[in-house]
A and B are shown apart, each in its own frame.
Chain A
Amino acid sequence: MEQSPIQDTVNQERIDALRELKAKMKQGGGEARLQAQRQKGKLTVWERIEYLFDDNTFVEVGSFVELRNEHFGLGKKKTPGDGVVTGFGRIKGKLVYIAAQDFGVLGGSLGEMHGKKVANIMDMAIQNKAPMITLNDSGGARIQEGIGSLCGYGDIFYRNTKASGVIPQISVIMGPCAGGAVYSPGITDFIAMVRGTSNMFITGPDVIKTVTGEAVGKDDLGGPDVHMEKSGVATYVGDDDEGTLNWVVKLLSYLPSSNEEHAPVLPAPAPGFRQDQKSLADIVPSNANKAYNMLEVIDNIVDPYSFMELQEGFAPNVIIGFARMDGISTGIVANNPKHLAGCLDVNASDKAARFVRFCDAFNIPLLTLVDVPGFLPGVDQEYAGIIRHGAKLLYAYSEATVPKLTVTLRKAYGGAYICMCSKHLGSDMNLAWPGAEIAVMGPKGAANVIFRKQIMGAEDPASEAVKCEQEYTEKFANPRLAASLGYIDDVIEPDETPTVIRRYLWSLSDKEAPRPKRKHGNIPL
């Protein structure tokens, strides 16, 4: 239907002026700055927004907001929007809120009004129960605004916390993010970084050089790979802006819009989808000395090609990620015997515990695959506080009221056995494979303790020890004992695993497990 042209000329002029103004505002700090951004291999802020959101669904909020602390010549550099684009739109049909910093305006620096804009959009996200994404690309606090900028950050951090566990929060670091600014991403649930253009650190190389004398480059200090492999801060590192944004879109497909929704469900794939599928009994060898890649096991249990690993470069001895089971979004936690023999250590406990708590907050069921010989021994682990960190994982699983499904594939010894979502921590499904060894400790160690006198007194202690080990293995280090006591719900064939898990999951959709009322617990941090 054609609209008839406007007759009122004054209104028409106003409209024309508005159009011109808005087009100019979209240029942010000007074409030159946009080009500079592109030359660095980055997309501009509007390019990122247009890439991320479904066509014609984005609504900008607060495009005219300007700074008001005009000291130190800021008055002349006032720009509508104040260096951040906030608003909401649809991503694959889902409502999502966003705050995207514009590096072209005053270096993307955060001032009072910039901060207020972000706080405002976050309030909207919390109220309207939709995920919040931040695209960080900023030189940091706007020093000229003094305390005003700190205010800005404070407002944001406060809301990050208010929103934590209420709506999913995703930070994407697409440029510099330094100083206090890093705390906002630090509170959020997932942090993605772009290789080559982004970095995060509290104090930069210059200050470090002055104070401690250490010389280090920006990338080596807080580049994406550092945060993936060393600090465990990054969830994902993308090769470029588009790849990273694609990852964000994919991540959103596994998450509910808020904690009031069930985990999302997509149509389940048709059965019989795989060619040359190896048996799980071949992927996990019977010889407990041989390692295998747990990723292969996961791929063969979850819906095909649905596993999305998170933090893959950090603490590889435990695997976390999202997948789908019959289309239902599920959180996966699994030991990986390929690294550190699958032992739990400080980093792995942290990694897994945070993930478990996220899934619990957002009604995402948890599937835990266990093959853990124990906690990693070592003085440095002890000094680093494996006690505190291991306790985190215990706490997280115990606290979780989402459906918890556990399968023990091979080893499950000692404290680590309990930690990996055992029945005692409230798991709803606890299965074991026939080769599972569930015990206080491995046969060798245990036999030497229990049968000590027998071994010492024997003619050939070495072979007596081996015999005692075997006896121990037959009696204790197998799933029968645990099953006979009801701590294992069933011993199943490895290839039955995918089917049985799905049946349990189907039954647990309306699970309710009330907890005593309290403000919140005191998880060891």
Chain B
Amino acid sequence: MKAIIAYDEADAESAAVRNADAAYVLKPSPDHYRPYLDINQIVDLASDLEVDAVHPGYGFLAQNKEFAQALKDRGIAFIAPKSEGIFDFANKHIIKAYAARAGLPILPGSESFVEREWLFRFAEAIQYPLVIKSVYGYGGVGMKVVHSEEELESSFNEVRHLCSRHLKCCTDVFLEKYLPGAQHVEFPVLRDANGTTIVLPEQECSVQRRFQKLVIETPSPRLSPQMRSRLESEIRVLANRLEVFGFATVEFLVKDGHAYFLEINGYIQPSHTATTLLTGVDLLKEQINILSGGALSVDPGLINRHGHVVGSFIYAEDPEKEFEPSPGNIERLHLPFGEEVYVQSNIFSGAVVSPLYDPMIAKLMVRGLTREEALHKLSIALSEFFVEGVKTNIPLMRALISSPEYAEGKVTPTYLDKPDQRRQLLEQVKTDEEQEIASLVAALSLYRDGEEELLVDQLNTDGSELGAASRWVNRRRKNV
């Protein structure tokens, strides 16, 4: 199978572009925020290239009906779950109704609506805190938590505005009860045309920021084996009812031993590597397999469910400045490696982290026989991960993973939201020796300032790299 990639100029240096069999650049278009949303351009390109199928990658048009239709009209397959008619996974609201009918517990919520008049009425019924969700939202876009009535209207406007900008589809929203401190757990599901369904071990998103994942674990330490098997069978029922074709993830919120169905996502996410690492099942391969008419190539009975995988997403951002993206040039880079340490990364020494897109620069995942072992490995791998030139969340992740709170499972997804909490976490990790060294470094830099002329540094060389000046090498002249 050949892979052709269509990309935005800003991603010109990415690994995907370099490694693809062919790469085509998308022209910027004034109508669209980013060319990745330019359906016409993409479809035209796909058509000209006579491709068999288009994979939407991680986001943008992954759940866009217009896109799917446009491709269908040109006879190009769309590698995403079939979303025709009632089986529209992208529509969170409808799917929720199906789940309820299949017997899965759901959170209290409202009908979907667009008009402002309904807003306050529904909110009153559900009570605070609640979440305003865009019906077609995904990946954290199109969701806002509302804690009180004062924030309600502005949040509503914000969500709708973001939707029209990023999602290119309807701006319907619905309200749902918010469960603070609940864990996100999702089960990857594969189902082929024969109806063979595989429900893979669940993934927990242990810590997030801005609704995007920072740390994930599979399986979730929070699910008891009984709960797991119960949910698995319920998911199986739902998947069959909805005639899931291909790959999907079924998401739950778990709190205090209860699980609530949240939504189904029909697209591969970056975090799914963890599942592959644990089970050996190549989700992407199976997805394409199924959607091209084949059957699952995996024997459900032979899937490995032992061991534990923990992963951390590395972003080029400044945790001290509320995770503000820190774009720039990556001057030097050393990726960690080791037994069962996996790094997927798009960057290299000299790469430029663009301010235009999500500043994720790597996925670091480790696998261990036990959770404890996995956490330990991840902590070490994080300490070996060296990036120079942009700020990253690596030090913060290191502090988090090695903290006792994390090991004891006391963290919630919003654990890192408060600056004080983050600071405290970093403080905890500091040893006395490190404090001494910090003062040493401060003194040393003052010392170097205080002394005159610093460049006596240059003299400690053996003169071997003389470059352009090589005609001037120190040598004796003839008698003057």
Interface residues of A (CB under 8 A from B): 92-93, 238, 242-243, 246-247, 249-250, 253, 256, 259-268, 305-306, 308, 326-328, 363, 502, 506, 509-510
Contacts and interface: CB of A to CB of B under 8 A. Distances in A.
Contacts of B468: 268, 326-327, 502, 506
A267 B453 contact: no
Query: Helix, strand, loop or mixed for chain A's interface?
Result: loop
Nearest to A267: B465
Contact of A265 (B452, B454, B455, B463): B463
Nearest to A165: B480
A243 B452 contact: yes
Given A262-B474, A262-B475, A268 B469 contact: yes
Contact of A261 (B463, B464, B477): B477
Contacts of B453: 246-247, 250, 308
B125 interface: no
Contact of A509 (B472, B476, B479): B472
Contacts of B476: 260-261
B466 A265 contact: yes
A266 B458 contact: yes
B459 A262 contact: no
Contacts of A308: 453
B448 to A, nearest CB: 11
Nearest to A257: B474
B446 interface: no
Contacts of A327: 466-469
Given A92-B460, A247-B452, A363 B477 contact: yes
B49 interface: no
Contacts of B356: none
Interface of B: 451-456, 458-461, 463-469, 471-477, 479-480
Contacts of B469: 265, 268, 326-328, 506
A266 B474 CA distance: 10
Contacts of B454: 305
Contact of B459 (A92, A259, A328, A509): A92
A266 B462 CA distance: 9
Contacts of A265: 463, 466, 469, 472-474
B475 A261 contact: yes
Nearest to B473: A265
A66 to B, nearest CB: 37
Given A262-B475, A267-B467, 11 more contacts: A242-B451, A259-B480, A260-B476, A261-B477, A262-B474, A266-B463, A267-B465, A268-B469, A327-B466, A327-B467, A327-B468
Nearest to B477: A260
Interface centre among B461, B472, B474, B477 (most CB of A within 10 A): B472
Contacts of A502: 468
Nearest to A250: B453
A253 B467 contact: no
Nearest to A329: B472
Nearest to B454: A305
Closest 10 CB pairs of A and B: A509-B471, A250-B453, A92-B459, A267-B465, A509-B472, A327-B469, A265-B472, A268-B467, A265-B469, A326-B469
A92 B472 CA distance: 20
A249 B456 contact: yes
B149 to A, nearest CB: 49
A246 B472 contact: no
A327 B475 CA distance: 15
A416 B202 CA distance: 85
Contacts of A246: 451-453, 456
Nearest to A252: B459
Interface centre among B453, B460, B479 (most CB of A within 10 A): B453
